Structure 1
Amino acid sequence: AEMHAALLRNPEDAAFAPEPFNDFYRQSLFHGYIALTARRLEFIRQRYADMSAEVRLLAAKVLEQESAINEKFRTVFDQRIPSQRTRFHGRLHLGHLLVTADGGRAGDLASSDVVLFDFEGDPTQHISERRIKRCPLRDVASMLVSFGYAAQSAVRVIMADEVSNALPRQALRVWGRFWYSHISAAYIRGYWSVANNASYMPPSRPQQEILLQSYLLERALLDVREDIEDKPEFSGMPFRLILHLLDAEAERRLGE
């Protein structure tokens, strides 16, 4: 939230001046989402045979949900949301954060600060697309997804430990979800406490939720290709997030 505020401090500079989140932009955003959905579902069909049995189960469920995905995105188009588009990080995740300690004392987290780096945006997108200003809640969604990957990484490490082999996989998954829920709630509370009155923040919680949910769904669709091609061990993650955003209870029952 402090980073987003800093990026708004020089509105006289056209490169940093806020732009309206108007009807024209919402229409463009919605059609972009529809095109992204079509591309990713086609990619899933092309790579379906290469997936593990567990991931294929999730992928098949996602392929059945094209209409539901598009309807979820339509909420951004159907409702006028007071907001602004500004500069933002563009690919915010835990790998782009450094925790620094005051006075050079390593591990002194009580007096530490956080440094964000790598503002090039999403390297899978063309530079012209990365330069488009967007609502900073897109960064919030990206960080929330990163917490999910951190939880999944921890579960995988524990499962690989011979001492932990006796632990039921479902129990580990529940613990991972608990940690994710706790850290995500703390993150959102902290962000909202700083940014609640920011010019880009929609005035009502339902409007904030609509934007955040759409950015989470967009991030999951973008991650489908990246994970299958570069991080196959995490390829089930974006599918689960998509299904969770559409029907959280149904997603939780999968694999039980």
Structure 2
Amino acid sequence: MSDREKILRYYRTSGEDQLAVKLLDAADAVLRNRKYKVVEFLDPFGYTIAETIIAHYDRLQLITNGGYLGAERQKAAFVHKDFLGKEEFMISALLVSWDSRYYHISHRDILGAFMGLGIKRETIGDIIMLGDSSQIVVDSSMASYIMQNLTSVGSATVTIKEISLDEIRPREEKIKEIRTTVASLRVDVIAAAGFGVSRSKMADEIVADKVKINWQQAKSSSHLIKEGDVISMRGRGRIEVSEIFGQTKKGRISILLKRVI
């Protein structure tokens, strides 16, 4: 079995084989042209697929760029080691503004407005909320289209302009530590403790495809969580399982969660 087939078989079980095919095709193209190939924005899980692939291609290297230092969503470039030029990632930044006295706009609202324009998620990088505005990293090929067509977000009229990548303000994340004990390491139990909802409510959210584990859709409430895993919930942010300390005298498991708020 070839390395390509092994990689596809592995990711087929998680339903991510389509992305794996796209990344493998990009890597194969670089082997042929001995230059480089940039793929669209990847979330952290997509990046792990790219890392898995690059480990099997000793003549290639992997370079990423999300527009600013610390970006969560990044473009990945497969670069042939013989290529001596400079990679062009084609990344632009837009500033969307509105009157915050009358409208409250969320990350989800911004993303929904983009989807309403028929823009694919893969062409959008990070969306950084700033109160009365939002800085959005996008594929450069979409910048003009967005500026011409994005006139409102929900019921709010917005203005939009292009800014330099140097003007991007890295996201300010506040971390809340949660020390607690749980009955088990099931995802519904851990997530319920981290997000402050009931276990039954969390089970419903998982069924509704609103919960991800390490940026991959949670498929079952019984999925066991390990130290270092990141659980995200649509509209509620994310938590990291920072430490698992072991069992208490009462048989519960002591854990430390870090919730991004």
Do both proteins adopt the same fold according to a TM-score greater than 0.5, normalized to the shorter chain?
Answer: no
TM-score band, normalised by shorter chain: under 0.3
The alignment's TM-score, normalised by the length of structure 1, stands at: 0.24
Name whichever structure is richer in helix by fraction. Answer: 1
The alignment's TM-score, normalised by the length of structure 2, stands at: 0.24
- Of structures 1 and 2, the one with the larger relative CO (CA 8 A, separation 6+) is 1
Name whichever structure is richer in strand by fraction. Answer: 2
